[in-house]
Chain A
Amino acid sequence: MICSKGDALQASPAGFFWLRGNDIKLLFATGPSLNTRLLAAVLASLALMVVDYQGARLHAVRAFLSLAVYPLQSLASWPNDMLHRIGGTVISYVDLQRENQRLKDIELINDARLLKLAALEKENIRLRLLLENSFQLGEQVLIAELLSVKLEPYEHRVMVNKGSRFGVHERQPVLDANGVVGQVIRALPNSSEVMLITDPSHAIPVEVNRNGLRTIAFGTGQSNRLHLPFLANNADIAPGDLLVTSGLGGGFPAGYPVAVVDKFEARPDKSFANIYATPKAQLDSSREFLIVWSDANPVVMGAQDRNKSAPNSDTPHAAQ
C-alpha cells in the first residue's frame, strides 16, 4: 500500500493516526521515494569510488570504519589461531626437547655466521669508503602475525595484526625467515594489508645473485610461481639461480632473497624468453612476518673522512 504524503494529510485525523499506528505499511510514504533513495545511494557511492581511486584522501574515513570492522576480523581469525595454538600446546615432552635441541644447534650455527658477517660488514664499509660510495644503514624490523582472514579469494593479499599504531606505513617491505613476502599496501590503525609478491598485480625489481643481471619479477596468481617476462632468449640465467632484490625503485632494500629460477623456456619466435621462479618465502604457511624499516637516506661514508681532514668545515655535527 503506497500512498503519497498528500493523501495522508488529506485523510481525517482519526484515519491519519490509524495509519501512524500501523507504521509498517506507511514508511514508504514518509521520506523520499525508493527511486530517490537509490539515486542518492548510487551517486554517493560513485563519488566515494572516484575520490578513493584518485588518492588517499579518504584514509581517515577508512581508518575510522576499520575500528568497527577489526573485531569481526579478529573473531573470524580466532578459530584458526586457536587451532594453531592448541597444536603448539599439545606437544610431547620428547618433541619439545628435540625441538629445543634443534633450535640451539641452529642458533650456534647462525652465531658463527654472524661473527663472520660482522667482519665482512666492516670490510664492506672499508671498501666502500675507498670507492667514496654511499652505504645503506641497517634495517629495523617489527614482527607481525597473520590474521587468518581471506579478503578476496582471487587476490593474494593478507592481513597482519600490526598497523599504523606501531608506525607501519604504506609501501613497507615485508619479509619472512626465508625471503621477501610482499609489501604493505594499506596501513589501518590496528592492522595492515600486505600484498604478496605472487599477486597478479604485483611486480618486484630483482637481480640474479650470480651475475647481477637485473629484471622484474611479476606475480602470477599462483602461490608458488613468479614470472620474469623481460629477459632475452640468450640471457645468462638458468634454473637454480637465486634472485635477490636489486633495490632499484627504492621500494625494497637490496640483497634480500626473493625466488629461485625453476624453468627457462626459450621462445625462438619471440624476442623474450618465458622464465618462471619459485618464491623463497613460505607464502602459504608462514604465520609470522617481519615488517622492515629501511633508512631512506643512505649515509655517505666518505664525507665523514673528508670532514676530519678539514676541521674548519662549517658543518660541525657531520664530523661526529
Chain B
Amino acid sequence: MPHNNHLAYFYFILSVGVAMMLRVMSWWPSLDPFNPDWVLLVLIYWAIAMPERFGVFTAWSAGLLTDVLTGRLLGQYALIFALVAYFSIREHLRLRQAPMLQQCLFVFFCLAGSESVIFGTESMKAGNQFSFDFWYPAFSGTVAWPLVFTVMRQVRQKARLG
C-alpha cells in the first residue's frame, strides 16, 4: 500500500513538527519548567503503533533536529531518542496490551532516563548546579502521556493508518 505509506510519513512528519513547536513554545513564563518533551512522547507513540515503519533511525534523525532546535550538543537528543525508540519497539507488543497506568510507568522511565543523560552531558559541559526544576518535565510528561496517546490514536484512526 504505497499510498498509505506516504500518508503515514506525512502524518509522522506533521506530528513531530507540531511536537517540536510545542517543545519550544513559551505558554506562560511560570509554567515553562513543566513543559514536557513532546517530541519524545510522540516518537514513543509512533514506535509502539507502527514499529515496522518508524524505527531507531527515524527517531535518531528527529533527535538530531531537536538538538539543533534546542541548541544542545549535536547527537545528544539523537542518542536519547534512538535508545527510547529501541526499547519501545522491543516492548511494543506488551505495551499495546498494557493498561494506561503501566504505559505511563514505561513513559516515566523513558523520560527519567532521558533527563539523566542530559544531566550527565550538561554537567560534563559546565559546572552547572541544577535545582529540582530540572526533573519536572519527567513528571509532567508522564501526566501528558494519556493525552498524547488519545490524540495520536484519533489521528491515526481518522487517517486509517496500519
Contact = CB atoms under 8 A, between A and B. Distances in A.
Interface of A: 23-25, 27-28, 34, 37-38, 40-42, 44-49, 51-53, 58, 61-62, 65-66, 68-69, 72-73, 75-76, 79-80, 148-154, 157, 186, 193, 200-201, 221, 284
A193 B68 CA distance: 11
Interface in B65-93: 65, 68-71, 73-76, 78-79, 82-83, 86, 89-90
A66 B70 CA distance: 10
B109 interface: no
A44 B60 contact: yes
Given A52-B74, A154-B130, A65 B79 contact: no
Contacts of B34: 153
Interface in B27-83: 29, 32-35, 52-53, 55-57, 59-60, 63-65, 68-71, 73-76, 78-79, 82-83
A151 B71 contact: yes
A60 to B, nearest CB: 11
B149 to A, nearest CB: 21
Contacts of A200: 126, 128-129
A79 B53 CA distance: 34
B79 A42 contact: yes
Contacts of A66: 68
Contacts of A153: 32-35, 133, 136-137
22 contacts: A24-B162, A37-B55, A38-B86, A41-B56, A42-B82, A42-B83, A45-B76, A45-B82, A48-B64, A49-B74, A49-B121, A51-B74, A52-B75, A72-B17, A72-B24, A80-B26, A151-B70, A152-B71, A154-B130, A200-B128, A221-B129, A221-B131
